[in-house]
Amino acid sequence: MAEKGFTPIQTIPLFLNKSLSAGDTGTSDIIDLRYAAQRGSYSISCSVAAGTAGTAGTTVFTYQASPSFDGPYATPSAAVAMGTFGTSGADNMASFTPILCPFMKVVATQAGTGTAGKDSIVTANLIVQ
């Protein structure tokens, strides 16, 4: 546990060059927030690059929460979207405020269905304090 008055910022890798086609989803590993999120400050850092289609699509990030490591994990009814990153392929960041939970998974969803959306290469990190 962090010392009183000392709350370091942690970067937790979510996805590294994850390929998502139209309508695909990717789910991160379990994130243990019990000691990482002492101040309750959250942001996501993301890069969405073009995949084989030559143009990056739009990727939406949401989260699932659980009171226990083994789950079940569910999208909270009052969940706040973490961020939408997309077509330019540029790096970007967004802050968000999740519900209080000790364990979380991040879900990346590529916009579109079938061939309607472009495929993307997604790299993302969760930043907590």
Please state the domain extents for the chain.
10-128
Provide the 10 A C-beta neighbour count for residue 119: 21
Is the pLDDT reported for residue 64 higher than 90? yes
C-alpha 59 chain-centroid distance: 10
Residues 14, 105 contacting (CB under 8 angstroms): no
Q: Which one has a higher pLDDT value, 83 or 100?
A: 100
Is the pLDDT reported for residue 119 higher than 80? no
Q: Which residues pair with 19 in a beta bridge?
A: 121
Is the pLDDT reported for residue 37 higher than 90? no
Architecture category of domain 10-128 in CATH: Sandwich (2.60)
Residue 35 pLDDT grade (very low, low, confident, very high; cuts 50, 70, 90) = confident
Q: Tens digits of per-residue pLDDT, 94-110?
A: 888 888 889 999 999 88
* pLDDT at residue 59, rounded to an integer: 85
Q: Which one has a higher pLDDT value, 115 or 101?
A: 101
Q: Are strands 103-110 and 91-96 parallel, antiparallel or unpaired?
A: unpaired
User: For 113, which DSSP code?
Assistant: S
Alpha-carbon span 103 to 53, nearest angstrom: 35
* pLDDT at residue 54, rounded to an integer: 63
* pLDDT at residue 63, rounded to an integer: 92
Both structure tokens of 106: 């991040």
* pLDDT at residue 55, rounded to an integer: 63
Alpha-carbon span 31 to 125, nearest angstrom: 11
